[in-house]
């Protein structure tokens, strides 16, 4: 396992929800965290809050649907902080709309926020990780990545594509020690998409912080440990909690 202390983590997307919890966890592990988000107020507030607590967290406002804007942001981060140890990709736009009512522009924007942005950010960090022969890339996945759901044509397509990209990069990165994996939540999350849950799922919801330890764990691995795999964030985090506290799950 690799010590990530003082190393750079890039957390892309959802600075108010899972991205918020993951950033806190990585900062607590001693990492320098660059948080990318399209919501300026949210990402700025997160960075300021954690810096007041002594963490090294920096906010970058970007557009996940624009390859040009996102590439420029990534280059800015790398120029400032150097090669990253970890990239967590969690960008997505989610809309529930039937295919009959889904126009191409909205389909493209939703897919771009997921799949295109995953490619752009991975492509940006790849040369530095290859040169260092070191790095971990994590795509935040969901049930939509393996299952189809009605009224989610764009979201499901984007998440399916992201899983395929992960598998290809895992093969290409293995010789350089770069771990590329995806991670599903493993439990319904108390967050913006909770309105889509059934009553049973709402009763089983957990806060985003319950998933965060898994990301700090993946910050420490290389391709010899695991690559091309799909992790369960809640399961991994619970195992970490049990190991730390010595209590049953």
Q: Is 132 exposed, middle or buried (0-12, 13-18, 19+ CB in 10 A)?
A: middle
Query: Over its length of 249 residues, how does the chain's per-residue pLDDT go in tens digits?
Result: 899 999 999 999 988 889 999 999 999 999 999 999 999 999 999 999 999 999 999 999 999 999 999 999 999 999 999 999 999 999 988 889 999 999 999 999 999 999 999 999 999 999 999 999 999 999 999 888 888 889 999 999 999 999 999 999 999 999 999 999 999 998 877 776 666 777 777 777 888 999 999 999 999 999 999 999 999 999 999 999 999 887 554
pLDDT at 23: 97
Residue 101: what pLDDT? 96
Q: What is the DSSP letter of 114?
A: I
The per-residue pLDDT for 145 is 83
The CATH T-level fold of domain 8-245 is Rossmann fold (3.40.50)
Encoded tokens for 107: 């389909």
pTM: 0.94
Angle at 205 between CA 199 and CA 206, to 5 degrees: 175
The pLDDT, as a whole number, for residue 246 is: 73
As a whole number of angstroms, the distance between CA 15 and CA 143 comes to 21
Whether 54 contacts 244, CB under 8 Å? no
Q: CA gyration radius for the chain? A: 17
The pLDDT assigned to 247 comes to: 59
Instruction: Using the structure block, give the residue that is written with the tokens 């890339």.
Output: 137
With contact defined as beta carbons under 8 Å apart, do 6 and 31 qualify?
A: yes
Q: Distance (Å, rounded) from C-alpha 96 to C-alpha 59?
A: 30
Number of neighbours of residue 162 by Cβ within 10 angstroms: 26
Separation between Cα atoms, residue 222 and residue 218, nearest integer Å: 8
């Amino acid at each position: 396992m690799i010590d990530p202390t003082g190393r750079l983590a890039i957390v892309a997307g959802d600075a108010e929800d899972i991205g918020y919890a993951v950033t806190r966890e990585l900062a607590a592990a001693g990492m320098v965290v660059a948080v990318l988000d399209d919501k300026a107020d949210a990402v700025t507030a997160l960075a300021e809050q954690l810096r007041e607590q002594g963490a090294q967290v920096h906010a970058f406002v970007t557009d996940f649907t624009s390859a040009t804007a996102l590439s420029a942001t990534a280059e800015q981060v790398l120029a400032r902080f150097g090669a990253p140890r970890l990239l967590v990709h969690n960008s997505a736009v989610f809309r529930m709309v039937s295919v009959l009512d889904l126009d191409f522009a909205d389909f493209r924007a939703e897919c771009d926020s997921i799949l295109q942005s995953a490619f752009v950010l991975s492509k940006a960090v790849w040369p530095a990780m290859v040169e260092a022969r070191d790095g971990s890339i994590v795509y935040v996945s969901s049930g939509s990545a393996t299952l189809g759901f009605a009224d989610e044509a764009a979201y499901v397509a984007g998440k399916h594509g992201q899983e395929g990209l992960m598998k290809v990069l895992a093969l290409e990165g293995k010789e350089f020690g770069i771990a590329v994996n995806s991670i599903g939540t493993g439990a319904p999350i108390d967050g913006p998409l909770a309105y889509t849950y059934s009553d049973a799922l709402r009763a089983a919801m957990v806060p985003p912080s319950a998933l965060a330890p898994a990301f700090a764990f993946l910050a420490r691995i290389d391709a010899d440990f695991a690559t091309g795999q799909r992790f369960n964030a809640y399961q991994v985090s619970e195992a970490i909690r049990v190991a730390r506290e010595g209590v049953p799950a």
